[in-house]
Chains A and B, each alone.
Chain A
Amino acid sequence: MITAAAMYVAPRLVHLSAVDAAIIIFYFALVLTIGFYLQRRANTGEDFFMAGREMTAWIAGLSFLSANLGSLELMGWAASAYQYGILATHWYWIGAIPAMLFLSIVMMPFYYISKTHSVPGYLRLRFGESSRALSAISFAFMTVLMSGINMYSMALVMKVVLGWNINFSIWVSSLTVAAYVALGGLRSAIFNEVLQFILIWAGALLVPILGLIEAGGWSNLKLQIARNASTEYTHLWSTLGSFDNNPMGIHWTGIVFGLGFVISFGYWTTDFLVVQRVLAAQDLRSAKLAPIIGGAFKMLVPFIVILPGLLGLAVLPMKLTGEAMAVATGGHSYNEVLPLMLARYCGPGLLGLGITALIAGFMSGMAGNVSAFTTVWTYDIYRALINPRGSDHHYVNMGRWCTIFGVLISVGTAYLVMQFASIMDYVQALFSFFIAPLFGTVILGMLWKRATGPGGFWGLLVGTLSSIGMWAWVKADHGALRYVALSASARDMAENMYRALWSWIICVLVTVVVSYMTQPKPIGELEGLVYGVTAIPHEAEVPIYQRPSFWAAIVGVAFVVLNILFW
C-alpha cells in the first residue's frame, strides 16, 4: 500500500516533456467532453442511475473490469510482484476468474430478472427493509471513504512521480470526476471507464514487451530473478504447501478458500461498485456475457501489472526496499517499480501516455465509487427511508447533487487521511468486514428458498460483527493470529483471508439457524429472486458461439491451463 511516507522518498521520478503534457491535457478535455455530450441523455432515473439499461456486453464487460482497475491496483500489485514474486498473480486469477464466471452463470439471472437497481435493492426484495438498510448504509459510508483514500493515494503518486502539488492533484481529479458523473450519470461513468480501460492498456502494454526484449525472454528472466531474488518468485502453487516456504507466508488453503472463494466471490458478486456495470446491460444474455468478457481480460492484466514487477527484479540496477528503508536511505520503494519501469523505456509521448494510464486508472476507480454511492444513496437510503414519494425528476436531481456531495466527502476524507495516515489502514480493514458476510447473505438468498428475512438480517449483522471482533482481537493480542489464521507465521494478507472465511461461515450458520426458527416467505413472493422458483430463459435458441455458458467454459479452461503453466 502506498502510504504517506512515499511522498518523502524522492523529489520526482520522471520529467514530462511538452508532448507528454499535451497528451494528459487532451485526456482531461476528452473525458469532460464526453460528460457534457451525455448530459442530454441523462434525464430520467433509469438513464441517470442505470445508463438506460442499454449497454452491450462488451461495454458492460470492459466497464465492469475498468471500475476495479484503479491505479492503486496497478501500482500496488506491481509492487507486490517485486516484493513477493508471481504469487501476486493469484489476486487476478483464482482471486477473480471463478467468481466472475459464477456471477455470470449462476447469480446474474436473479439480479437481472428481479430488475433491482442495486445489490441492497435485491436484499430488500429477498429479505426486507432491515437487511437493505444495513447493507446500503455500510456500503455508502465505506464507498465514499474508499474514494477519498484513493484520491489521496493518487495525489501522493503524482507528487512522487511528477512532483505535482497534492492539493492540485486532489482538486483537479475530483472536480473532473464530479463534473462528468453529475452531468451524464452512470452512462458517462461507463463510457469513460471503457475509454480509460483502452488507455490503460495502450499506456502500460509497452513496458512488459520492451522488458521481455531487454531480459532476453521469459526463460532468461526466470534465471535472472533466481539470481537476484529466489527461484520461489516464479512459482504460482508449488511453494504454497507450507506457511514458511513462500515470500507471502501463506498456505494454499488460505489462497483457495479465503481468497479464491470468500473474498473473491464476495467482491466480484456482491460489491455494487462492479455489479452496477453489469446491471446496465441491455438484456440478460449481455448481462451474463459481460462478466465473462471482463474475466477474459482480467486474466491478461498480470501481463501489464505482475510482469513489470518481475522484470524490475531482473533489470533495474537498484534494489527496491520497503518504504521505511527507502525513506531512511533515500532510495526507491517497492511502490515505485511501475513508474521506474515506465521511465526506463518510455521516451517523450509514451511517458505521457503511461502517466495518462495511471491517471485514468485512478479516475475510473473514483468514478465507479461515486456513481455506485449515488445510486445506493438515492434509491436505497433517501427514497427508502427519507422521501419515498418524490418524482423521478426529483430523484435525478438528488443523484446529481449527491454526486457532487459524495466527491466533496471524498475530498474531505483525503485531507483527513493526509493528517492521520493510519486512518487509511483502518478504513481498508473496515471495508473488508462487510464483503464476506454480504456474500453469505446474498448467495443463501439466491439459492435457498428456506432463508427468511430475519435469517438474512441476523446472519449479515453477526457475520460483520464477528469479522470486526476477530480483527480487534488480533490487534489487541498478536498471539491470536494462530487461532484466526491457523498459524503464528501468517502475515497480514493471510489473516485477512482467514478472517473473511470465518466471518462467511458464521454468517451462513446464523442465517440457517435463524431461518429455521422463523416463518419462511410464501413461494409466490420468491419468484424471480430464488433458484428453483424463477423461470430462467434457456440458451438453446441461440447458436453455441453466442451462449454465455460456452464462453464461460473457454475462459475456465484457459484459467486452468495458465495455473498449470506457471505452477
Chain B
Amino acid sequence: MRERGISIWFFIGLSLLVNGILIVSAGVWQIFNPPANPVVLFRLHANVWWGATLLVFGLMYCIKFAPTRQG
C-alpha cells in the first residue's frame, strides 16, 4: 500500500495523535480543576495515561509512515 500515495497507517497515526493530545490535555486540566461529579475511578486519571498511550502510538505511526519518508 505504501508505494502509491499516503499509507492508511499514516492517517491512523494522525487520528491517534490528535485524539491523544486532546484527551491528555483534558486529563491534565482535570487534575488541576477536579470536576464536581467525577467519574468512577477518577483517582486513576485514565484520560491522562490512556491519552498519552494514544499520543505515543500516533506519533510513532506518523513518523514511520510520513508521506515524506516514502518512495
CA distance A412 to B38 in the complex (A): 42
**Inside 8 A of B41's CB, which chain A residues have their CB?**
210, 213-214, 345
- Nearest-CB distance from A104 to chain B (Å)? 21
**Inside 8 A of A344's CB, which chain B residues have their CB?**
39-40
Q: Residue-by-residue, is A488-510 near B (CB-CB < 8 Å gives 1, otherwise 0)?
A: 00000000000000000000000
Q: Which of B13-33 contact A (CB under 8 A)?
A: 14-16, 18-19, 22-27, 29-30
A195 touches B8 (CB 8 A): yes
Q: Which of A342-370 contact B (CB under 8 A)?
A: 343-350, 352-353, 356
A191 touches B26 (CB 8 A): no
- Chain B interface size, under 10 / 10 to 19 / 20 to 34 / 35 or more: 20 to 34
B27 touches A347 (CB 8 A): yes
A198 touches B12 (CB 8 A): yes
**Inside 8 A of A347's CB, which chain B residues have their CB?**
26-27, 30, 35, 38-39, 42, 46-47
Contact partner of B25 (CB less than 8 A), chosen from A19, A199, A213, is A19
Contact partner of A194 (CB less than 8 A), chosen from B8, B19, B50, B54, is B8
Known: A206-B46, A210-B44. A349 touches B12 (CB 8 A): no
The number of residue pairs between A and B whose CB atoms lie closer than 8 Å in the complex comes to 97
Decide if A59 is an interface residue (CB 8 Å cutoff).
yes
B26 touches A26 (CB 8 A): no
Q: DSSP majority for the A interface? A: helix
A56 touches B1 (CB 8 A): yes
A350 touches B47 (CB 8 A): yes
Known: A191-B11, A349-B27. A23 touches B46 (CB 8 A): no
Q: Residue-by-residue, is A1-33 near B (CB-CB < 8 Å gives 1, otherwise 0)?
A: 000000000000000010100110011001001
- Nearest-CB distance from A187 to chain B (Å)? 9
- Nearest-CB distance from B54 to chain A (Å)? 6
Determine the residue in chain A with the shortest Cβ distance to B61.
A198
Decide if A314 is an interface residue (CB 8 Å cutoff).
no
A26 touches B18 (CB 8 A): yes
Known: A41-B5, A346-B39, A347-B38. A195 touches B25 (CB 8 A): no
Of the listed residues B14, B25, B35, B50, the one surrounded by the most CB atoms of chain A closer than 10 A to its CB is B50
Decide if A202 is an interface residue (CB 8 Å cutoff).
yes
Determine the residue in chain B with the shortest Cβ distance to A52.
B4
Contact partner of A350 (CB less than 8 A), chosen from B8, B15, B35, B50, is B50
A59 touches B11 (CB 8 A): no
Decide if B63 is an interface residue (CB 8 Å cutoff).
no
Decide if A50 is an interface residue (CB 8 Å cutoff).
no
CA distance A37 to B7 in the complex (A): 11
**Inside 8 A of B8's CB, which chain A residues have their CB?**
59, 191, 194-195
**Inside 8 A of A206's CB, which chain B residues have their CB?**
46, 50
- Nearest-CB distance from B70 to chain A (Å)? 14
Kindly list the 5 A-B residue pairs having the minimum CB-CB distance in the complex, ordered from nearest: A349-B23, A349-B26, A348-B26, A19-B26, A191-B8
Given contacts A17-B26, A345-B39, A347-B47, 7 further A-B contacts (CB under 8 A): A22-B22, A26-B15, A34-B11, A195-B15, A347-B39, A348-B30, A348-B47
Task: Return 11 A-B CB contacts under 8 Å, by A number.
Answer: A55-B1, A59-B8, A191-B8, A191-B11, A195-B11, A346-B47, A347-B30, A347-B42, A349-B19, A350-B50, A356-B19
